[in-house]
């Protein structure tokens, strides 16, 4: 997806009953310059919307009390909020929603790819500010009840998108909240400080990794970092503890050993 050129800023409402996921998204979005409001269920979200209208909403469907579908129906029934873009968060891969029928809304799959998520939010904020027509509400397909497992956060940097998606899926199936990116930007060390992840997986050939490794070593507290390479040859200036040709299973096993 191409990067959206918009002015930074805007108000985002995150609606999810999982505290760790709310905190993770809150940190990421705040670092991008957004004002972030948090709601734990649909009823709480309606109160937040009425107190301060958001430019976009990140919404989980499966929540206790008023769930995401009930919240969205109530939101669309109020003419003042019909055009607010809603990005549906789901752990069900391939969930199909008729996006045209609900305006500027998107489906965002868990675990998240940070770059893709931020691009979709930027586009939603842009459309929200340009919106001049209300969009009708349509029913959203139900998704299966997720299993409530929370084993901590894993930060993952992998330049190969196919492998990044595989590792995302494997780790999320084991109950981890995965924050993934294709290059190690300055936000990685900030996220490590704020989120105190269970483990950090860094593919050595990803852009910016060696600089970030030096920053991570200065952090206080036990943060478990694994450097790995898909190539047998050791990259230049590679730290001696790097693991060459690590399989997906070996990387997942490293994370599991930290618990």
* pLDDT tens digits for range 93-122: 544 454 444 433 677 877 778 888 888 888
CB 200 within 8 Å of CB 153:
no
175 and 253 part of one domain: yes
Between 252 and 143, the more confident residue is 252
Q: How many angstroms from the chain centroid is the CA of residue 202?
A: 18
25 and 100 part of one domain: yes
What pLDDT is stored for residue 99 in this prediction? 46
125 and 167 part of one domain: no
Residue 23 lies in a domain: yes
Polymer length in residues for the chain: 259
What pLDDT is stored for residue 113 in this prediction? 80
Cα separation of 71 and 54, whole Å?
A: 15
CA angle 16, 249, 218 (to 5 degrees): 70
Rounded mean pLDDT of 65-93? 80
In terms of residue numbers, what domain contains 39? 11-130
159 and 230 part of one domain: yes
What pLDDT is stored for residue 104 in this prediction? 36
177 and 87 part of one domain: no
Residue 135 lies in a domain: no
Residue 126 lies in a domain: yes
Residue 147 lies in a domain: no
187 and 231 part of one domain: yes
Residue 140 lies in a domain: no
The model's pTM: 0.56
pLDDT class of 139 with cuts at 50, 70, 90: very low
DSSP symbols for 22-35:
HHHHHHHHHHTT-E
Residue 75 lies in a domain: yes
Express each pLDDT in 209-237 by its tens digit: 777 777 777 665 567 888 887 765 555 55
Q: How many domains, in total, are found in the chain?
A: 2
48 and 88 part of one domain: yes
Average pLDDT taken over every residue of the chain = 75
Q: Which of 45-49, 95-99, 241-245 has the highest mean pLDDT?
A: 45-49
HSE-up of residue 55 (Cα within 13 Å, Cβ side):
21
CATH number where 209 lies: 3.40.50.2300
115-119 own/partner pairs: CB under 8 Å, 24+ apart: 115/181, 115/182, 116/1, 117/28, 118/28, 118/32, 119/1, 119/2, 119/3, 119/4
- Residue 198: pLDDT above 60? yes
Cα separation of 245 and 248, whole Å?
A: 10
26 and 114 part of one domain: yes
Residue 4 lies in a domain: no
Residue 113 lies in a domain: yes
């Amino acid at each position: 997806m191409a990067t959206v050129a918009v002015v930074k800023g805007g108000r985002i409402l995150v609606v999810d009953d999982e505290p760790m996921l709310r905190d993770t998204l809150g940190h990421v979005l705040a670092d991008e310059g957004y004002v972030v409001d948090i709601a734990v269920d649909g009823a709480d979200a309606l109160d937040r919307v009425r107190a301060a209208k958001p430019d976009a909403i990140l919404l989980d469907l499966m929540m206790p009390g008023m769930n995401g579908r009930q919240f969205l129906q109530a939101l669309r029934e109020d003419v003042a909020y019909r055009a607010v873009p809603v990005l549906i968060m789901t752990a069900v891969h391939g969930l199909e929603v008729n996006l045209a029928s609900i305006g500027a809304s998107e489906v965002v799959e868990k675990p998240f790819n940070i770059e893709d998520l931020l691009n979709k939010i930027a586009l939603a904020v842009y459309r929200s500010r340009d919106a001049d027509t209300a969009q009708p509400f349509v029913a959203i397909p139900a998704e299966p009840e997720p299993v409530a497992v929370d084993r901590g956060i894993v930060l993952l940097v992998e330049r190969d998108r196919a492998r990044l998606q595989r590792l995302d899926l494997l780790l999320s199936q084991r109950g981890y909240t995965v924050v993934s990116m294709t290059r190690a930007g300055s936000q990685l060390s900030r996220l490590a400080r704020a989120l105190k992840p269970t483990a950090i997986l860094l593919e050595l050939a990803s852009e910016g990794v060696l600089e970030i490794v030096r920053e991570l070593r200065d952090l206080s507290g036990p943060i478990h970092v694994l450097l790995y390479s898909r190539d047998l040859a050791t990259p230049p200036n590679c730290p001696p503890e790097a693991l060459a040709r690590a399989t997906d299973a070996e990387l997942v096993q490293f994370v599991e050993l930290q618990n």
